[in-house]
Structure 1
């Protein structure tokens, strides 16, 4: 299974923010759309990711307040990414190793989407459920063995 399979199921909605947007406004957007990340875009290029992890670190550092900073001041400016042709067997260890919950999907310099660890886990579970269903159907339709002829 490839990342493109997840993007196809997930749909084309993509939430982005400018690096110069206020962090307060970005958090409001994340809350409004119930999303855990925003792709940070500048002049058509992906320049970072803002996730709830960066927001929480900022709140902790500011004594419970988001503060007056911009997205640029807290974003991950070197997010790990993959392509739509990357196999999920490669994505899972990458996300686990770096504790990455959200990964941009790039086609050269074009942002194609963002996949979450949830998206990857769901795709794996759905694939396993389908495989289990096919195996059960195969076993149910298993041809009966012919009885062996009596020995003389």
Structure 2
């Protein structure tokens, strides 16, 4: 299964904020959209990603104010991404080795989606269900 197939199943919505947005405003968007991370895009350029984990570790635990801190101050600017043609094994390997939970999907320099570890796990479960069904069918013959 490819990243393109995962996005076709889940949707290609891309939510983003500017790097000059306050963390509080970014969290409001994340809450409204029910997402755990949001991309930081300035003038069509992917600058970083902000996650709930960043908020917890860089605002709450450091006793900072989310209303006075800008996204660029705490976002993760080292970005790992995938393309539509990557398969789920590539994604799982990258997520595991880099200890990340979200991967922007980029084609021709443009963000076309984002997948989470949950999306990858769901895809693997579906593949395993299909395999089990095929094996059961084969054994029953």
TM-score interval (norm. to shorter): over 0.9
Higher relative contact order (CA 8 A, sep 6+): 2
State the 4+ residue runs in structure 1 displaced beyond 3 angstroms: none
TM-score when normalising by structure 2: 0.94
Can you give the 5+ residue segments of structure 1 that lack an aligned partner in the other structure?
142-152
Q: Paired residues, what number?
A: 140
Residue 12 of structure 2 contacts residue 114 of structure 2 at CA under 8 Å; is this kept in 1? no
TM-score when normalising by structure 1: 0.87
C-alpha root-mean-square deviation of aligned residues, in Å? Answer: 1.2
Correspondence list, 1:20-31, <5 A: 20-31=20-31
| Distance of 2:19 and 2:84 partners within structure 1 | 25
Name the larger-Rg structure: 1
Partner of 1:16: 16
* Cα deviation, residue 67, structure 1: 4.8
1:55 is the counterpart of 2:55: yes
| Distance of 1:120 and 1:47 partners within structure 2 | 24
Can you give the 5+ residue segments of structure 2 that lack an aligned partner in the other structure?
none
